[in-house]
Structure 1
Amino acid sequence: MFLLKKVKRYLFRVVQKEKKPFFFIPFFFLISAFFSLGVRLRHLAYDKGLLKVHKLPTCVVSIGNIAAGGTGKTPLIQKMIKHLDPKIRLAILTRGFLSKIETSGRVEKISDGKGCTLPVQYCGDEPYLLAKTTSVPIWVGKNRIESGYRAITEKMQCLILDDGMQYRRLARNLEIIVIDAKDPFGQKKFLPSGLLRDTPSRLDRADWIIANHIDSACQYEELKKEISLYTLAPVIGMNVVVCNPQEVTGKKVGVFCALGRPERFLQTVREIGCGIVDCVFLPDHTAFGLNELNLFAKRCKDKAGEMIVCTEKDWVKLSSFRCCIPVIALRVELEIVAGHAIWQEMLAKIEFFSNKGHR
């Protein structure tokens, strides 16, 4: 188990370009080629009707991406729930990646809209965070079709399919694709050579594109031109805003996170005026060991670090952890920087489909 963890972390650092793969290059190229072929064949099977697609008698809104991790799906779901009509009965269907629920093959309701009823180790970090920060029911499990039918028995009008783009077994009424504006095509290579998990041509399935990490109007216009080769879907430009910068601005900090694109979080920490003394990155969804975190805290303190900064998703996995310096979670949300009218149109269409299915 220890060796497997070390290998996984090494491969993560290779994908993140922190390490050169050397003799792994041909191996990575081969895996990427097979991965790409598998993705294309699977889509072909669904497009030709060889694999069955299940349609639920209610509105399904898929939120997904074509590149692995770090595009901002979770804060987008939080923002949508906050701005959609509160009268609509919303629910979230999520996989709970690497959670005990997922690996067991079960489907469980972890929230009725009043917080999580299960520990984070059991349901997964993102579902736990969504349960903690939203007021809608949440079902967790690999089988999102079963989750959907359970939600329908409770008269849910709109089902938000988290990370739904590759889950083609379930039909959706509306497709929202989230991309990283700084690297929209995942280094233009499939995993593990790059970060692509789907073909860029799949962008043509989108009803809307959410482009995260937009810094300027010029960048927004350039991005629209770049992705217009694949889709004519309207684009909403967004950026990450820290809600509690006063807790860390001007401090010397250590940074740790387990994200698909940790460099984005590191950039956010820099932008709010922190001095970074040290950092540790782990693969997405990985839990930090308490001994490991204690050693990191001591190392940061020795370098004059005043606190450790992490994401909310990492914070929920720490429980009541205490160490020699404070651990602060940065609370973030997405703000719209371009395409405000498109955002309002998107919300209106989701509300229309939600109400239409229950007339």
Structure 2
Amino acid sequence: MQLLRWFLFPFTILYTLIILVRNKMYDIGIFKSKTFPVKTIVIGNLAIGGTGKSPLTQLLLKHFGNKFRIATLSRGYGRTTKGFRLVQLSDPVLAVGDEPLQFKKNFPNMTIAVDENRAEGIEILQKDHDLIVLDDAFQHRKITGKCNILVFDFTSLQKPMLLLPTGNLRDTMNQTKRADMVVISKSPHEISDLQRVAIARKIRRYNPSVKLYYSFIAYLEPIALNSFSKLPSIDSDLQILLVTGIANPQPLLDYLGNKSTILQHLKFPDHHLFTEADYHRIISAFEAYQNPHKIILTTEKDAQRLDVSKLASYPLYYLPIQTKIEMENDFFQHIITCVNKP
């Protein structure tokens, strides 16, 4: 597969030229960006999917929820509706997208909204809110946020930084210059000085003064999605059927691999909508296990798209995660400084 992507390198050159011209048009003012008086935090990445933007968004909601009249605004990837929509707890996933629905379930009293036109969404929300967190909007250059947070996956920084389709970047690395803060997500808990220096050199080549932070995944206790409320302990005897439809399940596989030696992974594409054939595949794989000490495990994001009723007879759980930030107090203080700038 990787070899095939190198054959597509001429298309990478063409795509890079298109992105460079687009960004230049914004930089010199031919294409216009709109600013808003309301405090805005833009979270985004340069690569496709899987960098940990959504857990970071939830961290900001949790921290700032009691300090501001806060709202989140997302595109609502994969939804069948159009335009501005306030997310309700009763909404089906196809109406709002999996990540906004997850936000609403975790923060039911907060305003969670979706709109593919971020500028129009901000216009509506700013009337009743004084802080808006925009999930996955760094590339949406029609708006200029007060605080721009760019997220890079730790592992991805060890690889060549090439644009699609040969690489995984959807924008050029020089756009790091627009970030107020860079978060290196999914970092190992022990980072060597040499790794820190190499990463700082790669990032600050484009933005010498940018604030750089490292974040880590913290896995919480699994939560039941049906009547099987008592979870067997996750140990070497537990047989786990892991079902994921996320961009990068490798950190989860690494975590579970240290807990259980009996692990099967059914991997689906990011934002996958599960079909009858998929449920049959999941059930068949689970029933093939002879071990009575077994569960089906998924992610919180996938739990928004799974029809739990189709798996009602099986022990089904999801594994919540949290983002932990190194130098957390400094991180939040810098955000406050950013959003309060003129």
Name the TM-score, length of structure 1 as normaliser. 0.83
* DSSP-derived class of the 1:160 partner: strand
Q: Which residue of 1 aligns with 2:280?
A: 294
133, 136, 140: which one aligns with 1:163: 136
Residue correspondence of structure 1 range 203-242 to structure 2 within 5 A: 203-215=176-188, 216-218=190-192, 219-231=195-207, 232-242=209-219
Change (3 A) 1:176 1:229: same
Q: Which residue of 1 aligns with 2:267?
A: 281
Q: Distance in 1 between matches of 2:31 and 2:90?
A: 35
CA contact (8 A) 2:40 2:339 kept: no
- Between stretches 190-199 and 245-254, larger displacement belongs to 245-254
CA contact (8 A) 2:244 2:299 kept: yes
CA contact (8 A) 2:73 2:134 kept: yes
Q: Which residue of 1 aligns with 2:114?
A: 140
Q: Which residue of 1 aligns with 2:315?
A: 326
Q: Distance in 2 between matches of 1:256 and 1:130?
A: 21
Q: Which residue of 2 aligns with 1:252?
A: 239
- Alpha-carbon displacement from aligned partner over 1:182-225 (angstroms, at most 9, x marks no partner): 11377422122221111111112111111112211314454223
* DSSP-derived class of the 1:39 partner: helix
* Structure 1 spans left out of the alignment, 5+ residues: 1-13
Residue correspondence of structure 1 range 1-359 to structure 2 within 5 A: 14=1, 21=4, 25-26=6-7, 28-84=8-64, 86-101=66-81, 104=82, 106-111=83-88, 116-134=89-107, 135-153=109-127, 155-184=128-157, 187-215=160-188, 216-218=190-192, 219-231=195-207, 232-244=209-221, 249-250=234-235, 251-271=238-258, 273-304=259-290, 306-323=294-311, 325-336=314-325, 338-349=326-337, 352=340
- Alpha-carbon displacement from aligned partner over 1:2-47 (angstroms, at most 9, x marks no partner): xxxxxxxxxxxx4xx5xx63xx753x32332222222111101111
Task: Tell me the amino acid that sits aligned with residue 109 of structure 1.
Answer: L
Change (3 A) 1:132 1:93: same
- Between stretches 312-321 and 120-129, larger displacement belongs to 312-321
* Structure 2 spans left out of the alignment, 5+ residues: 223-230
Q: Distance in 1 between matches of 2:198 and 2:119?
A: 38
Q: Distance in 2 between matches of 1:51 and 1:184?
A: 30
Q: Distance in 1 between matches of 2:124 and 2:212?
A: 33
Q: Which residue of 1 aligns with 2:228?
A: none
Q: Distance in 2 between matches of 1:350 and 1:227?
A: 19
Task: Tell me the amino acid that sits aligned with residue 226 of structure 1.
Answer: K
Change (3 A) 1:143 1:182: same
Task: Tell me the amino acid that sits aligned with residue 31 of structure 2.
Answer: L
Name the TM-score, length of structure 2 as normaliser. 0.87
Q: Percent identity?
A: 24
Change (3 A) 1:160 1:186: farther
Q: Distance in 2 between matches of 1:343 and 1:292?
A: 42
Task: Tell me the amino acid that sits aligned with residue 122 of structure 2.
Answer: G
Change (3 A) 1:225 1:296: same
Q: Distance in 2 between matches of 1:78 and 1:91?
A: 11
CA RMSD of aligned residues (A): 2.3
